[in-house]
Each structure stands twice: as structure tokens, then as C-alpha cells.
Amino acid sequence: MRVLLTSFAMDAHFNGSVPLAWALRAAGHEVRVASQPALTGSITAAGLTAVPVGADHGLDEMVKGVGDSVLSHHANQSLDPDAPGQLTPAFLTGWDTMMTATFFALVNDDPMVDGLVAFARDWKPDLVLWEPFTFAGAVAAKVTGAAHARLLSFPDMFLPMRRAFLAQLAPGPTAGDGERRGAHTEDSLGQWLEWTLGRYGVPFDEEAVTGQWSVDQVPRSFRPPSDGPTVGMRYIPYNGPLPAVVPDWLRVPPTRPRVCVTLGLTARTSEFPNAVPVDLVLKAIEGLDVEVVATLGAEERALLTHVPDNVRLVDHIPLHALLPTCAAIVHHGGAGTWSTALVEGVPQIAMGWIWDAIERARRQQELGAGLHLPSHEVTVEGLRSRLVRLLEEPSFAAAAARLRTEAASEPTPAEVVPVLERLTAQHHAHGRRRPGGTSPSCVS
């Protein structure tokens, strides 16, 4: 079959789709990866076939212009729908409004959606797998009749929030509330998708938000309750487009417990701020009887006032090669780092402060496999004492090992491919009815 994968151009959001793309290709399927031109290098570096569509999005310009405010709305805010007093109507409305205006409609702008739809009309994919914020994938699928699913590589906080948001929009018991809401529905995401699909003559329904099903690479323990159909898949680490090379020193077993410190790659390649006080992190580790491998870029190194003797600085290194040699990892909370540490069974201190990074770290702590230390709370003593606990209390390693086992119990991407073949045959409209959609109308 023909499978079109799509992610807006950002490595951290694209990387999670690479192993499944390999599996599909290796099973003999035709695979294309569509994104804005800026991702072409990353797609081809992963050995995949790129289809550039639209023009580069202005996410970095947005973050430079108003990112502080947008991020401050979400900073240190729990996204757990069960956490009391967190997902208030005001928060959810702000989230829906700001994220749609500054993010969803930006990375899925008209040229991107038009380009993807045009390619899908030409190439006629059977299945579109889309990164969960790349709604252009859902639009292209709905316009061409392809089956479509979300491909998750981080815990899905989005759909439970979306449900909570829609529930509070629904007419309440107060008379007049529905009328008030009805006159001015605040569902920005729904409205944007409605006029976006409307350009092709396709009506909006919630499936454009949820996909027909989801492929979820997050271990079950971290999946928020979901009533949508889900195909579990094992997370296979892929570290992104930087060369993955094993250095000689890594082949020598460490003599002391090894600790990895990393702040990920996203802060290096985008305007998203790195909130981790890296100098404090290294100071916290100084003097401990451990050896540290810190993957820091040039800008991050520039923030260091002093590099302790027990720290080895490297620019980058494939985490899946490094982590099996590590007793613990201290990191910024990013999804790729977190997932890789999880499948390698390494206890983590995650310094997540925003979005699902908070929930990943919080849940990890709940399950005993790590500790959550939000970046704004980092102190030398606080981090040092947590790291000492991670290294000295065997329960952390034991819990991390349990999660590694849980992760490994999920089917591999290769094993998921036949499931996708079956679901695609069930869902796609080929052979039955293939709505061609209409041309985008120029004037409403």
C-alpha cells in the first residue's frame, strides 16, 4: 500500500515517526514523508523519501515575537484532566485559542495544507499517518478518502484536554448558557479546521482532530485514559539527523556509575527556550563519585562557569548507545530523551516544566522510576540529593527495569505493519467511494 507520513517541520516531532516508516518500507510498502521544505534534510538523513510541501512555517518567528506569553500560559500547568482545579474553563479556552492561532494554524498554514492535499490527490495514498498536531494530514486524508491515523510519540495529553474543553463548551444546565455559547462558540480549533476543510468542500467532524485511530508508542502506564481506538507500538529510539557514531571511549565500561546529562537538541535548533540552568546542574554533580557524560552544544557550554573534573563534555552522541552504560540520566524532559531512557531502563531526573513534559516526569516519579524536578525549582542541593537517591536506592533501577519490560512487551513497528494494513483496508474509501473533494474555492 501507499503510506504518506507527515509532520510539520520540527525534528522533535518528526523523529518519532522514523522507525515505523522504516518498517513499512522494509515490508515493501511505498512510503513518502511530507513536510515543509525545512525538514527535507532530516527526512532524507533518516533514509526516507521526502516530499516538500508548502513553504517553511514561521514557528521560530512566533516564538521570538510572543512565545514568552504563550509559554507562560502553559508553564508549570498540569494537563492531567483528573488533577483538581487545573484544567479550568479559562485555561482551556486560552489553550484552544492561543495554540490554534499561534501553532496549529501556523504549522498547518494554507500553503502547507494545499501542498499536502495536492500531493495526496496525485499520489493517492491508502493511509496517512500524521504527527498529532499536523492536522494537514487529516485534511488530506479526508479530502482524498484515505484512511488516517495519528502517530503518537509522546503521552497524549491533547485529546483528553480537547474532550474536557468540548465538555465545558456544551450547553450547561444554566438557561441561556447554550445560547450564549452558541452565538459565540469559542472552539477555535474546530472553526479553523471547519474553514480549512471547507476549502475542499469537505465538512468538519471531530475525526479531523482524533484521526480514525492512533498508533501510540508510549508505554501503557503513561497513556491517559482514551476511548479512541489505539494500536500500541514499541518505541524504537531514533536520535535524529545528527550522525550517530559510537566513540572509542564508549566501548570501555565505566569504572564508576555513569550519569548522562543532556538538554536535548530542540533548544539548539529552534527558538524554544531551554529553561534548564545547566551550570547549576553540573555544580550539583560535582564531587559525587560518578562519571558524567554531558551532551551540550556550544551555546550551552558557553553558559558554564566551570566544568567539574568528573564531567566529560560531548556535543552529541546516540543516546541509545550511551544509556545502556548509564546508572541515571538528568535531562530537560523532552520526549525523545525521556522515551529512550525509558526503553533502556535508566532512572531519570526529568526537569520538565511545560506541556506533557510535566506529566511524563510526574507519572515517572509516581511509578518510582525517576524524580520530577521542574527546571524553575532546580537548586544545587535539591538536584544533588535527588541524584544521590536515584543512584543509591535500588527501587529506582528496579522500577525503571519494570518499565523497560513493559515497553518491550509492545509489538515492534514491524509487527504493527500488518495491523495497519488491516485497519487501512477497513477505513479507506478506495474501491467503495472515493470522494475527490472540490477545488479550493477562492472566494466564499
Partner 1 sequence: MTYTDTDETATDESPAAPEEVEQTDSELGRHLLTARGFHWIYGTSGDPYALTLRAESDDPVVLARRIRESETPLWQSAAGAWVTGRHGVAAEVLADPRLSLRHADLPGPQRHVFSDAWSNPLLCHIVPLDRAFLHASGADHARWERSAAPVLGAAAADGHRKSAERVHQETADGLGAAFDLMADYSRPVATEAAAALLGVPDAQRTRFARACLALGVALDAALCPQPLAVTRRLTEAIEDVRALVGELVAARRAEPGDDLLSTVLSAGSADSAGSRAQDALAVGVLTAAVGVEFTAGLINNALEALLAHPRQWALLGESPELAAGAVEETLRHAPPVRLESRIAAEDLTLAGQDIPAGAQVVVHVGAANRDPEAFLAPDHFDLTRPPGPGHLSLSGPHTALFGAFARLQAETAVRTLRERHPRLAPADGVQRRMRSPVLGGVLRCALTTSA
Residues of the shown chain interacting with partner 1 in the complex, contacts defined by CB under 8 A: 58, 61-62, 64-66, 69-70, 72-73, 89-90, 93-94, 97-98, 100-102, 105-106, 109-110, 175-176, 179-181, 183-186, 188, 191-192, 195-196, 198-199, 441-444
CB of 198 to partner 1, least distance (A): 6
CB of 63 to partner 1, least distance (A): 8
CB closer to partner 1, 93 vs 221: 93
Q: What are phi and psi of 138, to 5 degrees?
A: -65, -40
CB closer to partner 1, 102 vs 262: 102
CB closer to partner 1, 96 vs 410: 96
Q: Which residues of 169-180 are buried (b: 16+ CB within 10 A; e: fewer)?
A: beeeeeeeeeee
CB of 133 to partner 1, least distance (A): 16
Per DSSP, 221 falls in state G
CB of 109 to partner 1, least distance (A): 8
* Residue in this structure with the C-alpha cell 482532530, named with its chain if needed: 209
CB of 95 to partner 1, least distance (A): 9
Q: Are 154 and 16 in contact (CB under 8 A)?
A: yes
The count of other CB atoms within 10 Å of the CB of residue 395 is 12
Q: For residue 391, give every residue at least 6 positions away whose Cβ sits within 8 Å of its Cβ, in sequence order, or none.
A: 257, 259, 288, 290, 327, 328
**How far is Cα 120 from Cα 34, in angstroms, rounded to an integer?**
10
- CA angle 24/25/30 to nearest 5° reads 95
CB of 194 to partner 1, least distance (A): 8
CB closer to partner 1, 169 vs 373: 169
Whole-Å CA distances, 359 to 12, 395, 398: 18, 21, 21
CB closer to partner 1, 305 vs 444: 444
CB closer to partner 1, 105 vs 326: 105
Residue type, 310: N
E-only strand ranges, 167-277: 213-216, 230-232, 258-262
CB of 184 to partner 1, least distance (A): 4
CB closer to partner 1, 94 vs 411: 94
**How far is Cα 443 from Cα 239, in angstroms, rounded to an integer?**
44
Closest CA to 407 of 374, 366, 364, 372: 364
CB of 263 to partner 1, least distance (A): 25
CB closer to partner 1, 110 vs 406: 110
